[in-house]
Amino acid sequence: MTEARDHFSERVNRAIYGGEITFVTRGRLHRRAAAIVPADMVDHYEELLDERDARIAAERLAEIEAGRMETVPFDEALSRIGLTEDELNR
List pLDDT tens digits, range 66-90. Answer: 999 989 999 999 999 999 888 888 7
Q: What is the pLDDT of residue 5?
A: 77
pTM recorded for the entire structure: 0.68
Helix (H) or strand (E) holding 34: strand 31-36
Q: How buried is 4 (Cβ within 10 angstroms: 0-12 exposed, 13-18 middle, 19+ buried)?
A: middle
CB-CB contact of 15 with 37 (8 Å): yes
Residues of the chain with pLDDT under 70: 1-4
Cβ-Cβ contacts under 8 Å for 24 (sequence gap 6 or more): 1, 4, 32, 33, 34, 35, 36
SS3 43: helix
pLDDT computed for residue 12 by the predictor: 96
